[in-house]
Amino acid sequence: MASSTFIVQNRSFTYIIFKNNNEFLKVNGIRLFQFHIEKCKEPFVNIPEETIREALNVVLDVNNHPLLIHCRRGKHRTGCLVGCLRKMQRWYLSSIFDEYQRFAGAKARVSDQRFIERFDVSSSKR
């Protein structure tokens, strides 16, 4: 399996595949955080809340900025993480779901939105 690498250019990111990216990351001072979340297809959905919380801790740490968040397609797993972030930022659920649906398009999942709606921000670090 190939691993992912990010090329920083004018504070923007380009996604490229390399067989071994550890040296590239080290040379360019890039920290890579990976959180494994299995593909979740309805009706058998298992979005690991603890993994989302761990990822949110990385996202909320300004020492990790600028930051690129992505998954294979940038819809469901990324959408759940960003949706939970928006909830922590006190966005209205309707606005969170609008943003999620804009990026997920026809592939939007009710289960993802349900996960975001039920996500308890009171126990998350701020």
- Write down the pLDDT at residue 48: 85
Q: What is the mean pLDDT of residues 61-76?
A: 81
40 is catalytic: no
- Write down the pLDDT at residue 41: 61
Render pLDDT for 107-126 as a digit per residue (tens, 0 to 9): 899 989 999 999 999 876 65
CB-neighbour burial class of residue 17 (10 A; exposed 0-12, middle 13-18, buried 19+): exposed
**Residue 6: CB partners within 8 Å, gap ≥ 6?**
13, 14, 15, 16, 25, 30, 32, 68
Please say if the pLDDT value at position 55 is more than 70: yes
Please say if the pLDDT value at position 34 is more than 70: yes
Per annotation, catalytic residue among 40, 71, 80, 84 = 71
Residue 17, SS3 per DSSP? strand
- Write down the pLDDT at residue 7: 43
113: nearest Cα among 121, 122, 104, 125 = 104
Please, how many CA atoms are within 13 Å of residue 40, restricted to the half-sphere of its CB? 21
Output DSSP code: residue 18: E
Average pLDDT, the chain: 80
Tell me the residue type at 15: Y
Please say if the pLDDT value at position 13 is more than 60: no
pTM for this predicted structure = 0.77
